[in-house]
Chain A
Amino acid sequence: MTDTTSEPAFDMAKLSAKHTSQEAEARTKRRHWAEFRLKAYGILAILFAAVALVILVYTIVAKTLTVTNEFYLSLDVPIQLTERQSATLTDDNPNTNANLENLIFQAMGVQLEAPHRGRSARPLKGLISTYEGFSLGEIVGANLDLIGGNYHFEALLDDNLQLYMKGDFGRLSDAGTAGPITISAGDSGDQVVISAASNAFGASRIAMREDRAAEGRALRRSARDQERAFNETQEALDDATDPAERNRLQKLLDGFGQQRDQIFARADAALTEATDQRNNFTLRTDDPSVFIRANGGWIKITEMEPERLVGTVMNPLSQFGEVPEGKWSGLLMTSPEAERKISDRQLLWMEDLKREDRIVTHFNQRVLFSSDSAQAELAGIWGALIGSFWTMMVTFAIVFPIGVMASIYLEEFAPKNRLTDFIEVNINNLAAVPSIVFGLLGLTILLSGVKLFGIELFDGLLKVFAEDPRSTPLAGGVVLALMSLPTIIIASRASIKAVPPSIRDAALGLGASKLQTSTHHVLPLAMPGILTGSIIAMAQALGETAPLIIIGMNSFIQDPPGGPLDKANVLPSLIYLWNNNSERLFDGKTAVAISVLLIFLILMNALAVVLRKRFERRW
């Protein structure tokens, strides 16, 4: 039976023709174009993420590689002890250690032909790390036979010289000089006068004159600013009637006037130096350093004229007189002395030491296996690594059992009612609470205690375990446990939910109790998922900084903690500390700490993936 008789005629067959019409073709084209666009957006998004990742990894790896080596000064140190030093070394107390730095300085002084005592020895003493005297003391203390002989000692260079060796302050470059020079003694002690072929240092002189010109122009601009301030103050002074006000403005006016005149004078001086070819061009500490190396010594240039140079002898020359082309070199250090942390003298010493193969490099184990130090060249991540380890142990010991029990209860035992729903919603909300809030919670409950209306309800809970629980892995671990509890509960519940109900039915149908069903069947099947969730939560906790800063885990701690009750640091807070440090050697060490942290995070995530793949079950 058909309904065609009763229905108004509507020919469905006509619709079919539309599928082959031009309209349909256009629609297909539009659809393909839309799909193409969507794909293109997706690929662009992935490319963007990939580029960002590559840049991140490149930056970290590149910075990490700058500290793979450390530099030592290799010396032959005669071990001639004072009475006090031998007494300290030979006594039975293992905690005392002699400081033998005077021996090292003496050896350095001999090597560099420089004073090694008193104020004038400061640049020399600054070459090596602060505690090398104790390192040598330790070596000699362990082997008293060394006393009286020569010991080949490698002293760790100070952080700034480590940076210089890596080229952080730039390197000496050829100043582009030519022709013979004649060196003769100058007016005073160290001064020498060098006569050179015309324009021996032409290129550097032109560059520096251009610098001067730019400086002069900049100074003029700032002088004009002062001028404007001066004029405005002058107008205000003219309008003012109150004597006190006039007095104040007059003082202000005088100040502006003085400053204006000073800056104008400096600008004029700079511009004169820049333009006047005949005049003396005097090198300042904020100009690049220019050196001449000739006859086994170094001269630092202080004044430059086309055919006449004035300089200071830094390292003595064997003789003065004429030096033919090729027997001397003009060298340029682009970074000015005022802007780098090593002086010209130290720089030249380093150059000499390098030439004599006195600088040796070793693989930098220290950055991994020593603990934090105020001396950048001595600092390492070991203490923070151990601190992170203890913190993670505490976190895991708390969060895993509590998280698993809570989720088993919520998923298998709790009645499904409003209270359970309320708890569930709140657990989900808790996972989104900023971690720093957990830090505050930990600070209040665990460390400082709670007071209500002036009555102390309870003292810091952790004071049961330690007198001062601040900065301990215990406190950090508890705070991180609070923070990662919601994550673990959510992951565990999802994983328990994923166990098919047929397994529960099977167990219950055999007469297993709810507890037996949960512990014998549900939990083992959910365990890979629970572990995966826990590992990811632990990885998150491992990288957490904010709450730990609140409870004081970002303080400077020199020794690795021996347990969860010792003061400690963790890797991320060490990164935070080092990153804020102004010593530039910490830049590379920060990158090392970041690399180690990332390696651990990647390993933990890989473990989670392996667990998931390994125990993945299909029903």
Chain B
Amino acid sequence: MAADFKITASKVNVHYGEAHAIKDVDVNIESNAVTAFIGPSGCGKSTFLRCLNRMNDTIDICRVSGEILLDGLDIYQKKVDPVNLRARVGMVFQKPNPFPKSIYDNVAYGPRIHGLAKDKAELDQIVEQSLRRAALWNEAKDRLDQPGTGLSGGQQQRLCIARAVATAPEVLLMDEPCSALDPIATAQVEELIDELRASYSVVIVTHSMQQAARVSQKTAFFHLGHLLEFGETSKIFTNPDHEKTQQYITGRFG
């Protein structure tokens, strides 16, 4: 069965110094599907997401134990280089964080450092493709040499998605990608996520129930570091097994 899943996490525990942030979490992420992590603030969903591309390594006091397999290979093995891993598992952050460089350089940065393009023409193609995928090409094609920081918030976030896509990852992690955006930009990004599903495994952390319901196929509900419930989105939102899940999605706590 494990072969059908892109990522298989079992018995994952995360400690921040003394604090036990993630407790024995098992999750399987499917290929070509959107998996949503929901839960109240501080429940550990972002922490868990950051385990999946070892971004937690950058935090000194963070310790991760358990097993996370990407295509059957343990990503926490000594011989796995986090730099290579992050090229395969891309990430989009909560706050749009384009580099203070041109739009072109923002998107081309990943391909450049990973040597994805043989020449300038190929790099141009990668940039164009990525911007198209992020539904930003029409708005940005005439201003590729202008700074990415000059775009609007929604455009900046789509630029960040294009930048992540340009590295040609297999998995795309999104940490509350719409929390800083207005409803129109949110709708655009959600549409985008739905399209990206065709090529990537997408994992999204969100505080919006509607968003989780709209874009995801699988939903995981985290509570106080535990994974309380994980399953088909349709089931979780209509007939959850757990009482806490029921309360959370109906807005009675959290």
Contacts and interface: CB of A to CB of B under 8 A. Distances in A.
A295 interface: no
Interface residues of A, number: 21
B113 A506 contact: no
Contact of A510 (B60, B86, B95, B149): B86
B83 A512 contact: yes
A508 B163 contact: no
B212 interface: no
A416 interface: yes
Contacts of A507: 99, 109
A504 B59 CA distance: 12
A513 B58 CA distance: 11
Given A502-B93, A506-B93, A516-B113, A511 B99 contact: no
Interface in A466-517: 500, 502-513, 516
Given A502-B97, A505-B97, A525-B100, A510 B164 contact: yes
Contacts of A613: none
A509 B60 contact: no
B113 A508 contact: no
Contacts of B149: 619
A507 to B, nearest CB: 8
Which of A509, A512, A513, A619 has most chain B Cβ within 10 Å?
A509
Interface in B69-114: 83-87, 90-93, 95, 97-100, 109-110, 113-114
Interface of A is mostly: helix
Contact of B114 (A505, A508, A511, A617): A511
Contacts of B95: 502
B8 interface: no
B36 interface: no
B60 A415 contact: yes
A508 B99 contact: no
A510 B163 CA distance: 8
Nearest to A417: B60
Contact of A508 (B58, B98, B109, B164): B58
Contact of A505 (B83, B84, B93, B100): B93
A308 interface: no
A509 B90 contact: yes
B167 interface: yes
Nearest to B93: A505
Contact of B110 (A504, A511, A525, A617): A511
Contacts of B163: 506, 510
B55 interface: yes
Contacts of A503: 97, 99-100
Contacts of B90: 509-510
Contacts of B164: 509-510
Given A415-B60, A416-B60, A505-B55, A510 B97 contact: no
A32 B2 CA distance: 75
A521 interface: yes
A261 B58 CA distance: 94
B53 A510 contact: no
Contacts of A502: 93, 95, 97
B34 interface: no
A510 B110 contact: yes
A513 B97 contact: no
A105 B18 CA distance: 94
B160 interface: yes
A502 B163 CA distance: 14
A511 B85 CA distance: 7
Contact of A509 (B84, B91, B113): B91
Contacts of B110: 510-511
A513 B82 CA distance: 9
A335 B87 CA distance: 88
A506 B109 CA distance: 11
A589 B91 CA distance: 66
Contacts of B99: 503, 506-507, 521
Which of B53, B93, B100, B114 has most chain A Cβ within 10 Å?
B100
A513 B95 CA distance: 21
A505 B113 CA distance: 16
B60 A617 contact: no
A81 B160 CA distance: 87
B175 to A, nearest CB: 10
Given A511-B113, A511-B167, A516-B113, A506 B86 contact: no
A311 to B, nearest CB: 86
A514 to B, nearest CB: 9
Interface in B167-214: 167
B100 A617 contact: yes
A520 B105 CA distance: 11
Nearest to B92: A509
A600 B83 CA distance: 47
Interface in A508-539: 508-513, 516, 520-521, 525
Which of A502, A505, A520 has most chain B Cβ within 10 Å?
A505
A506 B60 contact: no
Nearest to B58: A508
Nearest to B57: A508
A517 to B, nearest CB: 10
Contacts of A416: 60
A511 B93 contact: no
B166 to A, nearest CB: 8
Contacts of B85: 511
B117 to A, nearest CB: 15
Interface in A230-245: none
Nearest to B173: A509
Nearest to A502: B97
A520 B106 CA distance: 12
Contacts of B55: 505, 508-509
Given A502-B93, A502-B97, A503-B97, A508 B160 contact: no
Interface string A589-619: 0000000000000000000000000000101
A68 to B, nearest CB: 49
B87 A510 contact: yes
Contacts of A415: 60
Nearest to B106: A506
Which of A504, A520, A617 has most chain B Cβ within 10 Å?
A520
Nearest to B149: A619
Interface in B41-66: 53, 55, 58, 60
Contacts of A513: 83
Interface of B: 53, 55, 58, 60, 83-87, 90-93, 95, 97-100, 109-110, 113-114, 149, 160, 163-164, 167
Given A508-B86, A509-B55, A509-B90, 17 more contacts: A503-B99, A503-B100, A505-B97, A506-B93, A506-B97, A506-B160, A508-B55, A508-B58, A510-B87, A511-B84, A511-B85, A511-B86, A511-B87, A511-B113, A511-B167, A512-B109, A617-B100
19 contacts: A504-B58, A505-B91, A506-B93, A506-B98, A507-B109, A508-B58, A508-B86, A509-B90, A509-B92, A510-B109, A510-B113, A510-B163, A510-B164, A511-B86, A511-B110, A511-B167, A516-B113, A521-B99, A619-B100
**What are the nearest 6 A-B pairs in CB distance?**
A511-B87, A509-B91, A502-B97, A511-B86, A510-B110, A506-B97
